[in-house]
Amino acid sequence: MKNITQEEWEAQIAKDDKAFILDVRTQNEVDEGIIPNSHHIDIYEGQGFIDKVNELDKSKHYYIYCRSGNRSGQAAQLMDQLGFETTYNLLGGYMEWDGETTFQE
């Protein structure tokens, strides 16, 4: 797991054809807006989170965020333990994100 800034996040995703953006916030937080192209799996689902994450392609590059960067850091570490090769944690999370946002469909 590597902690990255928003600037690094945007630059890397722009050239990463294996990028997968993962939002680990609660549904209420997601309802307030998301980073475009995000996939939502709530880390608070516990074993449900682990089960859903284990269904993902471990060779992709995971860009993970939450509200502040704490839960996403935990999620990235957990995913590393589960055998995921590349995980990035967004420093500051959605609270400090000043890029484009959208709403989940």
pLDDT mean for each 10 residues of the chain (105 residues): 96 97 97 96 97 97 98 98 97 95 85
pTM of the shown model: 0.96
Closest to 79 measured CA to CA, from 50, 41, 59 = 50
Closest to 75 measured CA to CA, from 105, 40, 103 = 40
What stretches of the chain adopt beta strand conformation (E)?
A: 2-4, 19-23, 38-40, 61-65, 86-90
Q: Which domains does the chain have, with CATH numbers?
A: 2-96 (3.40.250.10)
Give the per-residue pLDDT at 104. 75
Question: Which single residue is written with the structure tokens 């549904």?
Answer: 27
Give the per-residue pLDDT at 26. 97
Give the per-residue pLDDT at 33. 96
94 close to 67: Cβ distance less than 8 angstroms: yes
Give catalytic residue positions: 66
Give the per-residue pLDDT at 105. 67
DSSP conformation class of 95: G
Q: Could you give the maximum distance between any two Cα atoms of the chain, in Å?
A: 33
